[in-house]
Amino acid sequence: MKKQALYKSTIEKTINCPQCGYSLPIYFRWTKLVQCPSCKSSIFLEDEGVKLVGEASTLSPEPSLLELRVPISIENKTYTPLGKIRYSYGRGFWEEWFLVDSKNREFWLSVDEGDFVLESKAKIVLPFKSIDRLSVGKKYGKFVVTEMGEGRCVGFEGELPESISIGDIHRYAHMSEGGTSLMTVESSSDGMRVFRGNWIDPFIIKRLY
């Protein structure tokens, strides 16, 4: 028998899917986009209501250490996966998992062919407005650009703190400070964002039941 999770996120509110009427619990107070698990519609949460956006997305099931709303432990800290985005880059795909900790703080866990990166948004103002200013091997302060790439959104599940559409292009640059420390610059139609975090060993991720 499957045990109950030791920690569960609190339901902040409940909405009804405008497409099929399914009752959707919302776990993150600032959720902007949620997928209805019944009809797979994408629903944008506005200040005074909800509306359907984009198209439905159904992701093929893939083996994963993570499961939506099943808490995990990383170095004795608890995180709950609330949503994920899948990006295709031609020969394969990677996933960005949206997590919240026990204090409802936002994190992203990137999973790509066995590589795991845990990051949170950083308040860093970049001196340039285009990711094209970066290139592999170029230095930025103490950081060196180690990887650049892009992917196309092929779908999402759960709830997210931002709006995204199928087909959106996501560009990124990984910058290493040495060791496991990492800074990631991301570029999309909404502009550029910076994240700070670390590469992590997947063997330290524990699911809490």
What pLDDT is stored for residue 60 in this prediction?
73
Mean pLDDT on 45-69? 74
Residue recorded with tokens 């290139």: 135
Residue type, 158: G
Beta bridge partners of 49: 46
- What gap in Å lies between CA 46 and CA 200, rounded to an integer? 35
Mean pLDDT on 33-40? 89
pLDDT tier at 178, thresholds 50, 70, 90: confident
DSSP H or E segment with residue 115:
strand 115-121
- What percentage of the chain has pLDDT greater than the value 90? 52
Q: For 74-130, write each residue's pLDDT tens digit.
A: 998 999 999 999 999 988 999 999 999 988 899 999 999 889 999 999 988 888 889
What predicted TM-score, i.e. pTM, was given to this entire model?
A: 0.87
Widest CA span in the chain = 54
On average, the pLDDT of the chain sits at 87
Residue recorded with tokens 């994408």: 42
Mean pLDDT on 132-150? 92
- Contact call for residues 62 and 78 (beta carbons, < 8 A): no
- Contact call for residues 119 and 184 (beta carbons, < 8 A): yes
- Contact call for residues 108 and 97 (beta carbons, < 8 A): yes
Non-local (6+) Cβ contacts of 86 within 8 A are 59, 93, 94, 95, 153, 154, 155, 156
